[in-house]
Structure 1
Amino acid sequence: MLTPQQIETYFTKKKPSIFTFIGCAFFAIGGLFLIADGEFFSGFAVLIFFGGGGALAYLTYKNFPTDAQIDETFEQIKEMRKKQVFSKLGINEEDIIREPLTIIGFNSYTHSKKGEDGVYRFNPMQMEAIYFTNNQLLIASVEIDIMCQSESDYSGRTNEFFYRDISTVSIYDEDNSKRFIIKVHGQNECNIRINTSNKQSLVAAEEAVISIRKALRENKA
């Protein structure tokens, strides 16, 4: 798991180009030639300056947090929060009658960055964990801030609704993005913006709509 400092670096710093290291290496080699030609002082200065700069650039490039490391850290924090959610709902596993749903999105964020894979990453994110029981839909809305990594950093709320009270489950377009909503008696009880650059998140939201609508039809039949 990345440290909060590494995560801050990922979102706020620009990854150095490998060409910076290569350029410094060429200049450092030039310093060696100067030393070989008897220009000891000048060559040594060039070698120290560009050699040290190149080494620093290489280490920064090599150790810079990757998209995959950010995703892995997010998954670890998400799984921890999901376990906390289940305990806070106060239900047993046998109460769950259908596969639970997890929807990831955001409403506000502090950091954002487009990864090398073209996917935008945001922090903090929001998780909607949805559980089905015989008569109710249980929804936990939880903030996932990957810089807050302890169980005591939990921030969220839980609600439970009778199926008959749910009026709308849908995804709609909003400002070049999509928003997932669940309305109860006409009021938004679940409202989350989907990161459409992340196809997995979008597909999960679309499948959630289908699954919840199916549960509503079965319960109201």
Structure 2
Amino acid sequence: MADINYAQNEKYFKPVSYKPGIISIVIGVLLLFFASFGPVVIGLLLIGLGCYLIYRQTADRPTDADFDHQISIALGGLRKRALEKLDLDESEVELIKPVIVGGKIFGGTSDVKRGKDGIYRTSECEGIVIFFAEQELHAFKYQVSLVNSARTKESTDVYFYRDVVSVSTRSDSIPVRVDQAQVPVHLDVFRLTTSGGTNIECSMGAAITSSDNEIRAARQLIRDKKINAS
């Protein structure tokens, strides 16, 4: 996978505060109007400092599109990474296309920001890949922070078709804290449930997410395999 720019991404979530810069400019302007030569120089310096402080709040701050590109980088190589972690060859899992799902993580250590486009973005994202072999399915889950390289989790599982109870998607409205306020955020979620009570769950919405037809094909394959095994 390409490198994630953690430092730049951290700036995306850092609150913007123009207050110190504005205060410096106001004091500088007052000195210009009401002071003699010496304080005038100080006033000019304070105005310059204020302008610099305001500039620093916006300089090199990623746009919404820049951050979306970072999500694409984080999840873009998910299929290849899954094959490596599961120690699989592509030829072993060619029954149907793998189900790939990716999306945002709300809650926990995630920072949340409402973009200029009205979309809520988080500092952590996740993805799963499910491959389908003749007798079993292979699952890989990946969770990654876009602001902290130490916060990365990976897990792998293998399930027999007969143990899969359901493959489902659902839409939730979850409360999320943004700028000291609780707001409802819409979230689509993919879930695979097994008879042993194990769940593989991942939010949806990233560009890598499989189509509805591909998810339906996975449901049908699991259904057929369970019927043939009974």
TM-score by length of 2: 0.71
User: SS where residue 117 of structure 2 aligns?
Assistant: coil
Q: CA RMSD in A?
A: 3.7
User: Could you tell me how far 1:172 is from its partner in structure 2?
Assistant: 2.9
Q: Which residue of 1 aligns with 2:43?
A: 46
User: Could you tell me how far 1:26 is from its partner in structure 2?
Assistant: 9.4
Q: Which sections of structure 2, spanning at least 5 residues, go unmatched? A: 175-186
Which residue, out of 166, 170, 186, partners 1:168?
166
User: Could you tell me how far 1:103 is from its partner in structure 2?
Assistant: 1.3
For each residue in 1:129-169, what CA deviation from the matched residue of structure 2 results, as whole angstroms up to 9, or x when unmatched?
Answer: 1222233221111111223448xx75211112222321111
Q: Could you tell me whether the CA contact under 8 Å between 2:99 and 2:215 is conserved in 1?
A: no
Q: Which residue of 2 aligns with 1:115?
A: 115
User: Could you tell me how far 1:183 is from its partner in structure 2?
Assistant: 1.1
- C-alpha distance 67-16 of structure 1, shift in aligned 2 (>3 A): farther
For each residue in 1:60-86, what CA deviation from the matched residue of structure 2 results, as whole angstroms up to 9, or x when unmatched?
Answer: 313222222222222222235543321
Q: Could you tell me whether the CA contact under 8 Å between 1:31 and 1:47 is conserved in 2?
A: no
- C-alpha distance 83-16 of structure 1, shift in aligned 2 (>3 A): farther
User: Could you tell me how far 1:32 is from its partner in structure 2?
Assistant: 11
Q: Could you tell me whether the CA contact under 8 Å between 1:16 and 1:61 is conserved in 2?
A: no
Letter in 2 for 1:213: R
User: Could you tell me how far 1:45 is from its partner in structure 2?
Assistant: 2.0
- C-alpha distance 49-22 of structure 1, shift in aligned 2 (>3 A): closer
**Number of corresponding residues:** 210
Q: Could you tell me whether the CA contact under 8 Å between 1:171 and 1:206 is conserved in 2?
A: no
Q: Which residue of 2 aligns with 1:15?
A: 16
Q: Which residues of 2 match residues 1-221 of structure 1 at below 5 A?
A: 3-11=5-13, 13-16=14-17, 39-80=36-77, 82-97=79-94, 98-105=96-103, 106=105, 108-110=107-109, 111-149=111-149, 155-176=153-174, 177-185=187-195, 187-192=197-202, 194=203, 198=205, 204=210, 206=212, 209-219=215-225, 220=227
Q: Could you tell me whether the CA contact under 8 Å between 2:21 and 2:52 is conserved in 1?
A: yes
Question: Which structure's relative contact order is higher, taking Cα pairs within 8 Å and 6+ residues apart?
Answer: 2
TM-score by length of 1: 0.73
Letter in 2 for 1:182: L
- C-alpha distance 205-47 of structure 1, shift in aligned 2 (>3 A): farther
User: SS where residue 155 of structure 1 aligns?
Assistant: strand
User: SS where residue 69 of structure 1 aligns?
Assistant: helix
Letter in 2 for 1:163: Y
Which protein is richer in helix relative to its size? 1
Letter in 2 for 1:116: K
